[in-house]
Amino acid sequence: MEGDVYYPSAEVIAQAVLKDWEATAEFARNDLQGFWQKEAEQLEWFEPWEQVLDDSNKPFYKWYVGGKVNITHNAVDRHLKTYRKNKLALIWESEDGKFDRTFSYYSLNREVCRMANIIKAMGIVKGDRVTIYMGRVPEIVFAMLACAKIGAIHSVVFGGFSVDALQGRIADSQSKLVITCDGSLQNGKLVELKRIVDDSLRHCPTVENVIVVKRTAHEVPMEAMRDHWYHDLCALPIANGKCATEVMDAEDPLFILYTSGSTGIPKAIMHTHGGYMVGTYTTLKYVFDISDEDRFWCTADPGWITGHSYIVYGPLLNGATAFMFEGGPSYPYPNRWWQLIERFGISIFYTAPTAIRGLMRFGEAWPNKHDLSSLRLLGSVGEPINPEAWKWFHQVIGKGRCPIMDTWWQTETGAFIITPTPVVPLKPGSGTRPFFGQEAEIVDEEGKPVADGAEGFLVLKNPWPAMMRTIYGDDARYVSAYWTKYPGKYMTGDSARRDADGYYWIIGRVDDVIKVSGHRLGTAEVESALITHPAVAESAAIGLPHEIKGQSIFCYVQLNPGYATSEELSEELRQHVSHHLGPIARPEEVRFIDKLPKTRSGKIMRRVLKARAQGLPEGDVSTLDD
């Protein structure tokens, strides 16, 4: 093999559930449906499916057609009949480390049932949407599983988003119920989630009830009839620990999750009970080699797809123990994560390149203070990992013993797509090859495959169970955004190249999606936040390379007449975006411009702005208007 290659040790191979990668890949290549049939059979179905895959109406693929199932039944209920009943399902620690909470599968089930009964009592029935806007507390897990249990569709909004983002997502989903917290803690500071909910609901007439989980000690206004403290509801007789699990069709929606696309409002990506369940279960089982003894820690937030699939559903479907931490990597000190790995004996640790780069800066002394010998596998997700960060992670955290699973996937794919398993030789910076049953291709503008080594657009050729089914309420946009440019193939929106060994190297997004510290944001969202400020006539947001964050947001703003450029105004506009869209979207820099460069048809030339912002040559500007 070419380049820098890390082969799995004999010890890793001995432990791996799946030893022969090639044979499994070969089986799935020859019998895609057979592979996914065998995996689905590992889970419990109320009624079996009649057909594994129905591709008669592409790209509206259906999986496990006719099957009856419920993901919560498989993530929780099913374990109660086994020795896992008394095994830990979830361990949680607060940001300040003052308390932790643990839940066996038995007690998790009681919590989920209580929450489910409460949600039902709010008039929520199968198919209704419920918006969940919380910090990283155990109740967010209960809320998601409870919605799934009764057939409601959850729509989780990341707690780092603010008023406009939340309001837009509640309004689009027409949720009747919002579940939130009074506040959340971030680096010791209070984020007033409930206040943001109150502001958002001024324009969301569909919301009838708000459930508020108490997490902080600060006072929040409660609106009579609409707002209810969760602990008060829990004291009512309806909130008992028993609740029947709804029988769902395999293709019934499980959740929607809003994600940024190139243009317009964020898209409501829809996933289902059956296929998503089989996809997250199978990928986690093979890629992270998960078993009963594992304590799996995914550092993402449940508000993103990584948290949905690999904090909540994947680990529980596999009967593992999931660990969730309320805080971030370096508060109060840069050893916070390493301390937790040691204290809880984490065996599999899955995080993001931006966090690794951030922690690298503090030096080896911090991790070296801790016993990290419980670790056996590491993982990375969210953006390409630079080889320097890969090697530090491998050496300093994994002590050269733990393979790194660099998993490429998307909100839309629901589960890992390009990823190694522990027995696959690794190259730092590459997610290796597509998962079983998948085939990827790198194509040019016209859709023709490019030669190995050349850069092109990454497309996927085969359907897979955890694939999105549609954009909720907008089938036409689903087809046009993903399936039209390269007919019959799924367009990922990423550029990549493939090397001579068939390994894929992701380069980045080719659309207007920005990845800031692994968070997926759209330039359009930043621009629509800016335009609500009276000084702004027009703006353009672009993503620029950033040493730690991967990318950072940089904005050019054209002012309305009567406004003068100043440092203060620039800062005010950054604040404005942070307040409206969320602190994660706060621009690194806002610069003023007399006139945005546009093509004759009126399209902003972001390429020119990107070059200008970095002091690089602006290239071909022949299409520029005057």
Rule CB under 6 A: choose which of 72, 117, 259, 421 binds ligand WTA. 259
Can you give the C-alpha Rg of the chain in angstroms? 24
Q: Tell me the per-residue interface mask from 523 to 562 with ligand WTA, x by CB under 6 A, - otherwise.
A: ----------------------------------------
Counting residues that bind ligand WTA (by CB under 6 A) gives 23
Residue among 381, 296, 395 at smallest CA distance from 347: 296
CA-to-CA separations, 402 to 269, 292, 306, 421, in angstroms, rounded: 34, 19, 21, 12
| CB nearer to ligand WTA: pick between 358 and 384 | 384
Cis geometry, peptide bond prior to residue 332 (ω within 30 degrees of 0): yes
Does 299 contact ligand WTA by CB under 6 A? no
In the complex, least distance from residue 382 CB atom to ligand WTA, rounded to whole angstroms? 5
Based on CB atoms, which residue is closest to ligand WTA, 104 or 421? 421
3-state secondary structure 420-489: CCCCCCECCCCCCCECCCCCEEEECCCCCECCCCCCEEEEECCCCCCCCCEECCCHHHHHHHHCCCCCCC
Which one of 77, 301, 383, 525 is in contact with ligand WTA (CB under 6 A)?
383
- Burial call 570-602: b when 16+ CB within 10 Å, e when fewer: beebbebbbbbbbebbbbeebebbeebbbeeee
Find the distance separating the first CA and the last CA of the chain, reported in whole Å: 52
Residue selected from 93, 172, 342, 406 as contacting ligand WTA according to rule CB under 6 A: 406
Cβ-closest residue to ligand WTA?
411
What is the spatial distance between Cα 313 and Cα 293, in angstroms, rounded to a whole number? 17
* Nearest residue (CB) to ligand WTA, 222 versus 548: 548
Told to check if 305 binds ligand WTA by CB under 6 A, we report: yes
Strand, coil or helix: 313: helix
Give, for 522, the enclosing helix (H) or strand (E): strand 519-522
In this structure, what token pair is assigned to residue 361? 């800066």
Determine the angle formed by the axes of helices 193-201 and 163-173, rounding to 10 degrees: 50
Is 308 in contact with 302 (CB distance < 8 Å)?
yes
Give the pair of three-digit tokens for residue 122: 């709010």
Enumerate residues 361-380 that contact ligand WTA by CB under 6 A.
Answer: 380
**Which residue is listed with tokens 């049939």?**
37
Least CB distance to ligand WTA at residue 508 (A): 6
Among residues 382 and 403, whose Cβ is nearest to ligand WTA?
382
Q: Nearer Cβ to ligand WTA, position 367 or 420?
A: 420
> Distance of alpha carbon 73 from its chain centroid, rounded?
23
CB of 279 to ligand WTA, least distance (A): 13
- Selected binder of ligand WTA within 431, 465, 582, 587 (CB under 6 A): 431
The single residue among 72, 104, 306, 335 that binds ligand WTA, judged by CB under 6 A, is 306
Dist CA 331 CA 309 (whole Å): 26
Q: Name the segment binding ligand WTA (CB under 6 A); options: 102-110, 191-199, 382-390, 604-612.
A: 382-390
Q: How far apart are CA 612 and CA 143, in angstroms?
A: 46
Closer to ligand WTA by CB, 67 or 358: give it: 358
409 near ligand WTA (CB under 6 A): yes
DSSP 8-class letter at 458: E
Report the residue number, 204 or 317, with the smaller CB distance to ligand WTA: 317
Nearer to ligand WTA, 257 or 557 (CB): 257
Site for ligand WTA in 504-523 (CB under 6 A): 506, 509, 515, 520
Give the C-alpha separation, 357 to 474, whole Å: 38
301 binds ligand WTA (CB under 6 A): no
Q: Which is nearer to ligand WTA, 410 or 539 (CB)?
A: 410
Binding region for ligand WTA (CB under 6 A) out of 20-28, 181-189, 298-306, 331-339: 298-306
x/- track of binding to ligand WTA for residues 153-172 (CB under 6 A): --------------------
Helix (H) or strand (E) holding 103: strand 100-104
Q: Give the shortest CB-247-to-ligand WTA separation in angstroms.
A: 30
Out of 382, 414, 463, 522, point to the residue binding ligand WTA (CB under 6 A): 382
For residues 318 and 331, give the distance between their C-alpha atoms in angstroms, rounded to a whole number. 31
Query: Parallel, antiparallel, or unpaired for β 177-181 and 129-133?
Result: parallel
Asked if residue 414 binds ligand WTA (CB under 6 A), the reply is no
Cα 423 to Cα 543: distance, rounded to the nearest angstrom: 36
**Looking at 347, 407, 432, 523, which residue binds ligand WTA (CB under 6 A)?**
407
Instruction: Between 305 and 584, name the residue whose CB sits nearer to ligand WTA.
Output: 305
Q: Is 381 one of the binding residues for ligand WTA (CB under 6 A)?
A: yes
Helices (H), 345-464: 353-360, 365-368, 387-392
State how far the Cα of 39 lies from the Cα of 276, in Å rounded to an integer: 12
Provide the mask over 472-501, with x wherever binding to ligand WTA is found by CB under 6 A and - wherever it is not: --------------------xxx-------
Q: Quick one: 97 or 328, whose CB is closer to ligand WTA?
A: 328
What phi, psi does 199 have (nearest 5°)? -65, -40
Which positions from 110 to 149 touch ligand WTA by CB under 6 A, shown as an x/- string? Answer: ----------------------------------------
Beta bridge partners of 470: 270
Under rule CB under 6 A, residue 337 binds ligand WTA: no
Residues of this chain that interact with ligand WTA (CB under 6 A) are: 259, 304-306, 380-384, 406-411, 431, 492-494, 506, 509, 515, 520
